[in-house]
Amino acid sequence: MIVVTGATGNVGRTLVRALTQAGEQVTGASRASGADLTRPETLKPAFDGADAVFLMTPAAFLPDGDLDAVVDVARASGVRRLVLLSSQGVGTGRHPANLEAAVTGSGLEWTLLRPGNFASNTYAWADGVRVAREVSAPFVDVALPVIDPDDIAEVAAVVLREPGHAGATYELTGPAPISPRGQVAALADALGEPVRLTELSRDEARARMTRFMPAPVVESTLDILGSPTDREQRVSPDVERVLGRAPRPYSDWVARSLAAFR
Ligand SMILES: NC(=O)c1ccc[n+]([C@@H]2O[C@H](COP(=O)([O-])OP(=O)(O)OC[C@H]3O[C@@H](n4cnc5c(N)ncnc54)[C@H](OP(=O)(O)O)[C@@H]3O)[C@@H](O)[C@H]2O)c1
């Protein structure tokens, strides 16, 4: 049995479906099902008897939360394999490595997935696009190789089910860097209507982001969005290495998610 934490989220939703379609027995865990990662004692019923756990960490774990107690529950439940949804920012020194350390020091089989910026972050634009055909974003011409969360889920499904990935760290990106201006153009193209783009200053963006992210994480995220390193702009070969196909472009995510923007 495989447990998927964050089962109702951008990656978890698709991962549950992919594993189920592959014939696996899957337990989806999130607060909605009574499994709260910030209260590890609530995880035991979901983890009991699982072979593998896909671990996602919500914002409450940033910047310096502790996964040790969650890993202890997994170990005590007989779990053999952990796959952590980490972040590219750990590899580039933007975020602390403590969550990964809890997993790599667990004594269990582990694999780390380090995705860059998610295509689904642009759901934050959905209300503005739907209501007024407008988007406000900072750093509108800075391009990053955003990753489709369905590609992360497909990589996770392979790593959870198949041997040969123990001890591996995969950096997951899309197939090409795209800027917010390029993303807005892709949305406009799919809608068949113009979408106006307004550039926010860093201060304006910070004021919006601190409503749903801890302050230190807002700063490191703004650093990545505004001044990415060469490594953060690089297209990683790892999605293709694991899936045997190129990662999906942002326009694919838009085509599948357009209902939220119409
Ligand atoms: N977004 C990015 O660009 C990005 C980049 C790199 C890495 N990541 C990593 O990917 C993760 C997911 O990203 P996302 O922003 O797309 O998240 P998301 O899909 O919106 O994830 C939310 C999921 O987490 C569950 N959840 C929230 N708090 C929980 C808790 N205390 N205990 C158990 N489950 C909880 C939610 O379900 P319930 O509400 O039912 O609990 C939901 O299933 C991030 O937290 C981060 O670690 C994200």
pLDDT value for 65: 84
pLDDT value for 240: 98
Sequential DSSP letters for 64-103 = T---HHHHHHHHHTT--EEEEE--HHHHTTSS-SHHHHHH
Report the number of secondary-structure helices (H) and strands (E) in the chain.
13, 8
Residues near 193 by Cβ (< 8 Å), separated by ≥ 6? 133
Below-50 pLDDT ranges, the chain: none
Q: Please report, for the chain, the start and end positions of each structural domain, with discontinuous segments joined by +.
A: 2-260
Ligand 1 interacting residues, C-beta cut-off 6 A: 5-10, 12, 30-32, 35-38, 56-60, 85, 87, 115, 117-118, 120-121
Ligand 1 centroid to Cα of residue 194, in Å, is: 31
Class of domain 2-260: alpha beta
Burial of 71: CB neighbours in 10 Å, binned 0-12, 13-18, 19+: buried
pLDDT value for 51: 98
Ligand 1 centroid to Cα of residue 57, in Å, is: 6
pLDDT value for 121: 97
Neighbours of 200 (CB within 10 A): 17
**From atom 45 of ligand 1, which residue's Cα is the shortest distance away?**
58
**From atom 20 of ligand 1, which residue's Cα is the shortest distance away?**
9
Ligand 1 atom, smallest distance to 88 CA: 6
Instruction: Give residue 11's Cα distance to chain centre.
Output: 6
DSSP, collapsed to helix, strand or coil, labels residue 166 as coil
